[in-house]
Amino acid sequence: MNPKYQPFFETFRFRSGVQVNNRIVMAPMTTYSADPDDTVSKAEVAYYVRRSKGVGMVITACTYVTANGKGFHGEFAGDRDEMIPSLRELASAIKGQGAKAILQIFHGGRMCPPELVPQGDVVSASSVAAEQQGAKVPRALTEEEIQEIITSFGETTRRAIEAGYDGVEIHGANGYLVQQFFSPHSNRREDRWGGSLENRLRFPLAVVDEVKRVVSQHAKEPFLVGYRFSPEEPETPGITMADTLVLTDALASKELDYLHVSLMDFWSTPRRGADGSDATRIELIQKQVAGRVPLIGVGSIHTPDEALKALESGVPFVALGRELIIEPDWVEKVRQGREAEIRVELSRHDQARLEIPDPLWQAVVNTPGWFPIAEKG
């Protein structure tokens, strides 16, 4: 191994006691590939096995915590106890390759396709549609329903514990329900769950508290809790960088194991709310949390040198998403001094070699600009 890449392979022990072998994380990515009964499919298991050898930690695609939270076709379920064997199969497959298995837990809110939720009853913080073509106006959740969803995040955490995962990641990013409560675009409530920034923080923090309560009650082994968030929204009104610094400050006080910043570009700079600073979003967040909680950075990192530069910015972890689809052996090739062999683009003949399930492969090759795809070969 090239000695300059040694920082990738330093171990790390989280606050909870969970220890990982290195600083490379597989980012959560939707596979669209569950079986028709919403259990994890054999193709998904094979896909994760192919990518779990080498990385310190695998964060799964999101699983929904209530029946009306299903956000994707082919999303596997975590909303009822009958799904524990399915969840266990995936956890065992990941851990069998030496990585820690983290289950991402989620509710899609207003982003759920109506055909995927009971009676097409799409819900959110308020009756405000997303700013995208064909978006349905959701129904505002009642106080009782809000409490039920908070409890459901805890119940799915219990299932993750029983299924053998090493932790859960609360999906508070990418415009889904937890973020919808924090956002002034989707949350126009006038009760204790909305209005002021303090009130909009209430739901995300309630979910964190419930998940942590369940972990303290049910986990017999070290079990971590992470939280993923998107720093900004393009909408007006929408989440600004200033809002997110308040959120991250609140989350840092919750003694979480990590915060995971959802970015398309690790080095991106704020749109608004940074008071004229030319610092990157990651730099601003690091300054705000001030070492109180570890950060996972992600976003268009492909080569080992790009990952090393990201680590040198001060984050203790770098997550790879699309790059691990392209190059499942990324970590092993770096470890073996074969970094020159790391692939950074796909060919249209790679599906079988890379063990990518059919629905995900169709999304990869038919979404312009998402993946670098060689036109020849």
CATH number of 3-366: 3.20.20.70
Q: Which two tokens stand for residue 279?
A: 């610092």
Q: Which helix (DSSP H) or strand (DSSP E) does residue 151 occupy? A: helix 143-162
Confidence grade of residue 376 (pLDDT, cut at 50, 70, 90): low
Torsion of CA 153, 138, 232, 324, to 10 degrees: 60
The answer to whether residue 176 is catalytic is: yes
Angle at 372 between CA 40 and CA 6, to 5 degrees: 80
Q: What does the pLDDT look like over 48-102, one tens digit per residue?
A: 999 999 999 999 999 999 999 999 999 999 999 999 999 999 999 999 999 999 9
Q: Taking each helix axis as running N to C, give the angle between helix 143-162 and helix 202-218, from 0 to 180 degrees, rounded to the nearest 10.
A: 40
Q: Which of 5, 47, 165, 176 is catalytic?
A: 176
Confidence grade of residue 239 (pLDDT, cut at 50, 70, 90): very high
Q: Is the pLDDT of residue 276 over 80?
A: no
Mean pLDDT for 189-217 is: 98
Alpha helices in 6-63 (DSSP H): 42-52
Q: What does the pLDDT look like over 134-187, one tens digit per residue?
A: 999 999 999 999 999 999 999 999 999 999 999 999 999 999 999 999 999 999
